[in-house]
Amino acid sequence: MRLYHPRQDHWSEHFRLNGAQIIPLTEIGEATLQLLDLNGSDRLLLRRALVKAARYPCVEALAYLRE
């Protein structure tokens, strides 16, 4: 299984956000999520803190996620 490629793939086709958690939508998303441990406990703690501070996702990321 290949991994998500940010220059070739659209993020929103392979993932979605649920608060601070990244949810895979495809096998590519699942493989990428697991290999990079994108929902590891440390990463979720950081993202939750950023969500609480209204700093995640940032405006630029929101625009990218809607592509």
- The structure's pTM equals 0.84
Choice between 67 and 50, residue whose per-residue pLDDT is larger = 50
Query: Given pLDDT bands bounded at 50, 70 and 90, which one contains residue 66?
Result: low
- Decide if 44 is inside a domain: yes
Domain count within the chain: 1
Mean pLDDT of the chain: 91
How many C-beta atoms surround the C-beta of residue 4 within 10 A?
22
Could you tell me which residues are beta bridge partners of residue 23?
A: 16
Report pLDDT for 60. 78
The answer to whether residue 65 scores a pLDDT higher than 70 is: no
Could you tell me which residues are beta bridge partners of residue 18?
A: 21
Burial 7-45 (b: 16+ CB within 10 A, else e): eebebeebbebeebebebeeebbbbbbeeeebeeeeeee
- Decide if 5 is inside a domain: no
- Decide if 3 is inside a domain: no
Query: Given pLDDT bands bounded at 50, 70 and 90, which one contains residue 67?
Result: low
